[in-house]
Amino acid sequence: MDTPEQPQLYLITPPEFELSSFPDLLASVLDAHAVACVRLSLATRDEDRLARAADALREVTHARDVALVLSDHTLLSDRLGLDGVHLTDAARSVRDTRKALGDDAIVGSFCGASRHDGMSAGEAGADYVSFGPVQPSGLGDGSFAGLDLFQWWSEVIEVPVVAEGALDAAMVATLAPHTDFFGIGEEIWATEAPGDALADLIAAMG
């Protein structure tokens, strides 16, 4: 029996950060740990602020051969030369986004806890599907993506899956055999030492 490969790391930026300090913090985390992708996920819709943040983070990520995707702003992602886009409307805009960005861009789709949305996104051309939060949290409507969803997906569907939201060491250990990526954000950025917090989550993967 082959042991599954360890899931890869997918870092999600905080919704707000200081441009003067966060790129250096991100660089230190990327230098300490192997990360596959970073998602720029600012709360603002101000294109100028998004562009300045993207430019700063792109220097950090591309120097380390790490992909950088932007939440939802498809045209801006393309204009700024980023690696792709992370869509938060489940499967609704995957097909149009793929058409706009081409085959080489990363197009990911957040599908909450919906198996149906995940399958639709995969069929529409998403490179990955993201489910979460993985346990009840104060966010959203209280629904969450349970272990059974990840087990089923990993057995039946070829499209890579990301587990994100409300992760802790216990959930990481539980989900590690059934997910391709862990989407990790506030779990580390809200701590004093994000690199150490990430190391603890990596250790939980077994």
The per-residue pLDDT for range 126-148, each reduced to its tens digit, is 999 999 999 997 766 789 999 99
The per-residue pLDDT for range 11-55, each reduced to its tens digit, is 999 999 999 999 999 999 999 999 999 999 999 999 999 999 999
The per-residue pLDDT for range 107-124, each reduced to its tens digit, is 999 999 999 999 999 999
In the prediction, which pLDDT does 139 show? Answer: 62
8-204 CATH choice from 3.30.830.10, 3.20.20.70, 3.30.590.10, 1.10.3720.10? 3.20.20.70
Residue 38 exposed, middle or buried by CB count within 10 Å (0-12, 13-18, 19+):
buried
Q: How far is it, in rounded angstroms, from Cα 78 to Cα 65?
A: 18
Instruction: Say if residues 97 and 71 touch (Cβ distance below 8 Å).
Output: no
Q: Is the pLDDT of residue 3 over 60?
A: no
